[in-house]
Structure 1
Amino acid sequence: MREAPFPGLLPEAAAPAPHYHGHRERLRERFRKGGGEALADYELIELVLFRAMPRRDVKPLAKALIARFGSFAGVVTARAERLAEIDGIGEAAIVELQIVAAAARRLARVEIEARPSLSSLPAVIDYCRAAMAHLDHEEFRVLFLDRKNFLIADEVQGVGTIDHAPVYPRELMRRALELAASALILVHNHPTWPFLITMDHAQAS
Structure 2
Amino acid sequence: MTEELGLRERKKLRTRTAISAAAIALFLERGFDAVGVAEVARVAEVSKRTLFAYFPSKEDLVLHRFADHETDAADVVRARRAGQGPLSALREAFLRGLSERSPVTGLSDEPAVLAVFRLVTGTPALVARLAEFTSAGEVALAAALAEAGVAALDAELAAAQIAAVRRTLAAANMAAVAAGVPAARRHREAVEAAERAFTLLTTGVGIP
TM-score (norm 1): 0.35
Q: Report which of the two structures shows the higher radius of gyration computed on alpha carbons.
A: 1
Give the structure with the higher percent strand. 1
Of structures 1 and 2, the one with the larger relative CO (CA 8 A, separation 6+) is: 2
Q: Which has the higher helix share?
A: 2
